[in-house]
Chain A
Amino acid sequence: AQSVTQLDSHVSVSEGTPVLLRCNYSSSYSPSLFWYVQHPNKGLQLLLKYTSAATLVKGINGFEAEFKKSETSFHLTKPSAHMSDAAEYFCVVSLTGNQFYFGTGTSLTVIP
């Protein structure tokens, strides 16, 4: 069975400081992993995806994530938070490409 755990439901950072949003997954096989961002009352936008190529994945808006198989983790990072980064972030896993399993989300607050 596949599952996704986002370890923090809320994260607060000061503007200009690093962001770390944590995600662990369980899967019997090598999955595809995704991070999406959702601003209030909007749809989800893809930030980045891992599909068994490079383990360090760079995405849009300065975000990146590292796939660590030994730790079954796919944490999202950004060196310097911007006010516009305040949003809900979802970690997603897919094995077959047919179904996608979503974490419960992490709400990021950026303090000016």
Chain B
Amino acid sequence: DGGITQSPKYLFRKEGQNVTLSCEQNLNHDAMYWYRQDPGQGLRLIYYSQIVNDFQKGDIAEGYSVSREKKESFPLTVTSAQKNPTAFYLCASSIHSGAVNNEQFFGPGTRLTVL
């Protein structure tokens, strides 16, 4: 099946720890995105990548880092510098960046809780 997978579904972290969320897609999409979702705030863009080995900060990049070493993979690291990391994290991809009629395909999400 083609799609986007995120793992784990639930993740618990102690304060002061870094944690990495996985996102993999087998859709052969060029662009990938990470969003954070908090109740009542919609989705906010953390980072996006248009091509391998390149990525740009979104609106709330502080305390997060990413890498894009392979086309199909876009892991997100939540660092200890992120002051309020408890949230639902969504990964998305689109076929190529810059086409106006692009649509995004979303993974099932990872719920991160800081203890």
Q: Which residues of A contact B (CB under 8 A)?
A: 9, 32, 34, 36, 41-46, 49, 51-52, 90, 94-100, 102-105
Main secondary structure on A side of the interface with B: loop
Q: How far is the CA of A28 from the CA of B74 in the complex (A)?
A: 32
With a cutoff of 8 Å between Cβ atoms, the chain B residues found around residue A51 in the complex are 100-101
Query: Which of A34, A96, A98 sits near B103, CB closer than 8 Å?
Result: A34
B100→A43 contact, CB < 8 A = no
**In the complex, A57 Cα to B63 Cα: how many Å?**
39
- For B33, the chain A residues whose CB sits under 8 A away are 100
For B65, the chain A residues whose CB sits under 8 A away are none
Chain B residue with Cβ nearest A32: B100
- Which residues of the other chain, B, contact A9 by a CB distance below 8 angstroms? 40
How far is it, in angstroms, between the C-alpha of A20 and the C-alpha of B75 when the chains are bound?
A: 37
- B103 close to A46 (CB less than 8 A): yes
Chain A residues with Cβ below 8 Å from B97 are 97-98
Contacts of B111 in A (CB 8 A): 41
CB distance from A7 to the nearest CB of B (A): 14
